[in-house]
Chains A and B, each alone.
Chain A
Amino acid sequence: MASPKTTEAIVAHCEALFGDLDFTAARRWKDAEPGRKVIGYMPIYVPREIIHAGGMLPLGILGGGDNIEVIHGDAYYQSYICRIPRSTIELAITKRLDFVDGMLFPAICDVIRNLSGMWKLMRPEAYVRYFDVPQNFRDDLGGEYYINELRELIAGLEGVAGRKIPDDDIRRSIAVYNDNRRLVQRVYELRAKTPWKAPTSEVYLLLRAGMVLPVEDHSRLLEDYLATCEARDRPMRDNCRIVLQGTFCEQPPLSLIKAIELSGCYIVDDDFMLVTRWLLDDVAVDGDPIANLSRAFLHASAATAAKYEPDPAQKGAFLIETVRKRAAEGVIFASPSFCDPALLDRPMLAKALSRENIPYISFKYAENSGQMQPIREQAGTFADSIKLWSEA
């Protein structure tokens, strides 16, 4: 695939991928060679390296966004359950996911967990796995459990791929994903340094493209974006710098991200698509690749609401460090309505921020939220108050 060479063209390409609820790009990839397989996964983290090593395409499923009419999906869920599972079911029922050969449901909350069982009932022929991860971070305890789980996952994926997935292939895939992680980090650093050049509405689309493209293509896209973006001449505004928190699963509509930016906030870090940044450093390439993936998970992974924090003193520390590292002036908690992990975690994170005198606001959204006026008002007031506060 030839990559577009201007920032605008790159963003337009990403936006087209983002809006395509039929996943045409992934379908095309699959149809290009007989025997190719696609493995869907939901937020927040799966080791995509293993899928990749099996010659398969990892496909990130993040719900249907605000451009899908949910009819049958609503028939499966009560009104007090978030949107992402219902639009995901709608995608399945409307056959938009019929080309997906397997689905992984990470351990994130009870809703996504139960969706794994629903998938088993609805698609008995597909490979469906609830991907459990350790909440104990000792190598000889949680690590041992995790390594065995990963081995089970590999065995299952070998079944779908119809071939063995040797360690060497996994090592190679780890290296490919290390590249991708570094590039994503560079984009995040660029945005934090010059957010007027790399607005979040673009960075977001760039990351979304990584959910549906082969990782190599995505890495090229990231490189191109970095190359074209730095040369851009866009005016810097007197915006405040904020970290967006709580968006790790159900996605806000793109218009919400734009509304926050338009109201005077530069988003300088976020928890969108953590799968791209879950592992904080390079994963070691030499040695047992499964043990390496496990160590990275246990000792160098992001903090999020679905992950237990064994040390009470460290609760909120990851967020505070992000605020410091990105020189952010405040935090916007944007949580999907009815999102148990985000909403239960928020009071503790808010408390930690208060101790550090970091201002924050919070609101809720749904992937199909239509009213941006309240968001603009809240984010705008927040930006103004931060400016006043810093001038005082």
Chain B
Amino acid sequence: MTTKPEKPAVVKEPSMLKQKAMIARNYDKLTSAPETGKKVVSTYVPGNLNELIMCFDMLNNLPEINAIQNGLRKQSGNMIREAEKMGHSEDVCSYVKADIGAMARGAIAPNGKPMPPPDLLLLSYTGCFTFLKWFELLRDEWGCETVMLQVPYDGDGKVTDNMRDYVVKQLKEEVIPAMERISGVKFDIDRLRENLKHSAAAEDDFVWVLQSAMNKPSPIDAYFGGVFYIGPIFTAFRGTEDAVDYYKLLRQEIEERIAQGKGPITPEGEMGEEKYRLVVEGPPNWTHFRDFWKMFYDEGAVVVASTYTKVGGVFDFGFRHDPENPLESLADYCLGCYTNRNLPDRVAMIENYMEAYQADGLLINSIKSCNSFSAGQLLMMREIERRTGKPAAFIETDLVDPRYFSAANIRTRLESYFQMIEQKRRPAGAPTPVAA
């Protein structure tokens, strides 16, 4: 999600260039860790505690992002096959297999240098049981220290004191001591407060960016473009000044687009007329990211809101990291991530997006790898159709396993879906006398 597809985009805006430079710098830091002596923490995007990790001068390496990078570069297929040869089932998550397969081949970072093994696995399994197994598997391979941060699931749709206290206590008594020990740096809560201030500032602009899609036409694509916009805030940059600057820059660019009445930028330049406004549920496919996107912008379909851009934190309903309550707000952040919310909550969120963003319909991209997202999506679809009266469609792909992307099949469904929306709102859909 933090990289550009392999072919350079036609239009490179300053914000894109800035993000690219940020990512490159971070990979350089990671691959030079053996020389600089910096310690590396691996953790996941949902429940990513970057602000805390930075308090110990440690570097943050997110395995999903590495799998995505390999997916975009069309290398994940071989890695997955490698892992399957090692005994991993074809049925399970392709992020895990891409990661394990990459390790087996000697993990190489996008800068071409070897990726050092992590010094600490921060197992914050927020919203996904597979995370739990994934780091057990990595621990088994690397033999490195692992610290568990259990984030209870919001089964009843509300965060209880018990849940919050449990997370805070784990942070205090398990996570922070482990980080202190490994990094040799004493925890300084004021440093955390400082980082959280940066987070909150970036989150304000990030939310503004997401909500800019309420404009007609929308100046952004909140799914295919959105995965770039979430890059800094979901990964190793939340809590940095870099991220604050990035979102300021991005906001300015989008303000300008709105002033000019422009739609989103696509890999092939400015998008044509906005014909369909969609809400999308589910992660994107990474192995055919560009082909997939093209099926949308060629038809004039813009995604105005997506749930995937909430996977590393839900900020558009008011939550901000809070320097006044640092550990509690880290807990609330983790507890509130999209896949940690129960299904009724997820349905309510999508329903809200459908109305607030004046969408024509809901599209669910159901991901084979990700049961956390996928199990129950067909019921979610029915609920949204029933509540909003707007049409929904369902397609199936995978994250980084290229074997599960059937372009012809997806195109058929998308075309039918777009035409269905079109027919329903066009007077030509009305009948003319037809003698049977």
When the two chains form the complex, which single residue of A110, A122, A152, A348 contacts B160, counting CB atoms closer than 8 Å? A152
Which residues of chain B are near A341, meaning CB under 8 Å?
129, 133
Q: Given A110-B372, A136-B148, A76–B129 Cβ distance below 8 Å?
A: no
**Contact assessment for A117 and B87 in the assembled complex, using a CB-CB cutoff below 8 Å:** no
Check if B173 is an interface residue, CB within 8 A of chain A.
yes
**Contact assessment for A118 and B140 in the assembled complex, using a CB-CB cutoff below 8 Å:** no
Interface size for B (C-beta < 8 A) is 55
**Contact assessment for B136 and A308 in the assembled complex, using a CB-CB cutoff below 8 Å:** yes
**Contact assessment for B153 and A113 in the assembled complex, using a CB-CB cutoff below 8 Å:** yes
**Contact assessment for A78 and B150 in the assembled complex, using a CB-CB cutoff below 8 Å:** no
Which residues of chain A are near B87, meaning CB under 8 Å?
346-347, 350
**Contact assessment for B137 and A114 in the assembled complex, using a CB-CB cutoff below 8 Å:** no
When chains A and B are docked, how far (Å) is the Cα of A149 from the Cα of B166? 11
**Contact assessment for B366 and A145 in the assembled complex, using a CB-CB cutoff below 8 Å:** no
**Contact assessment for B343 and A308 in the assembled complex, using a CB-CB cutoff below 8 Å:** no
The digit string for B76-89, where 1 denotes a CB below 8 A from any CB of A, is 00000000001111
Q: Given A117-B342, A120-B344, A145-B152, A344–B137 Cβ distance below 8 Å?
A: yes
Q: Given A113-B129, A338-B91, A136–B150 Cβ distance below 8 Å?
A: yes
Q: Given A76-B378, A350-B87, A344–B130 Cβ distance below 8 Å?
A: yes
**Contact assessment for B396 and A136 in the assembled complex, using a CB-CB cutoff below 8 Å:** no
When chains A and B are docked, how far (Å) is the Cα of A350 from the Cα of B163? 35
Interface size class of A (residues with CB under 8 A): 35 or more
Chain A: minimal CB distance from B350 (Å)? 13
Check if A226 is an interface residue, CB within 8 A of chain B.
no
Check if A107 is an interface residue, CB within 8 A of chain B.
yes
Q: Given A81-B374, A309-B136, A347-B86, A132–B379 Cβ distance below 8 Å?
A: no
The chain B residue with its CB closest to the CB of A339 is B91
**Contact assessment for A130 and B134 in the assembled complex, using a CB-CB cutoff below 8 Å:** no
When chains A and B are docked, how far (Å) is the Cα of A122 from the Cα of B91? 28
Check if B261 is an interface residue, CB within 8 A of chain A.
no
Which residues of chain B are near A118, meaning CB under 8 Å?
343, 376, 379
**Contact assessment for A343 and B375 in the assembled complex, using a CB-CB cutoff below 8 Å:** no
**Residues 122 to 150 of chain A near chain B (Cβ within 8 Å):** 122, 129-130, 132, 134-136, 141-142, 144-145, 148-149
Chain A: minimal CB distance from B368 (Å)? 5
When chains A and B are docked, how far (Å) is the Cα of A269 from the Cα of B170? 36
**Contact assessment for A132 and B91 in the assembled complex, using a CB-CB cutoff below 8 Å:** no
**Contact assessment for A340 and B376 in the assembled complex, using a CB-CB cutoff below 8 Å:** no
**Contact assessment for A343 and B383 in the assembled complex, using a CB-CB cutoff below 8 Å:** no
When chains A and B are docked, how far (Å) is the Cα of A135 from the Cα of B167? 12
**Contact assessment for A121 and B91 in the assembled complex, using a CB-CB cutoff below 8 Å:** no
Would you give 20 A-B contacts (Cβ < 8 Å), ordered by A?
A105-B155, A110-B128, A110-B375, A113-B153, A113-B372, A114-B343, A117-B342, A121-B344, A132-B155, A135-B132, A136-B170, A141-B166, A335-B89, A338-B91, A343-B92, A344-B130, A344-B133, A347-B87, A348-B136, A351-B140
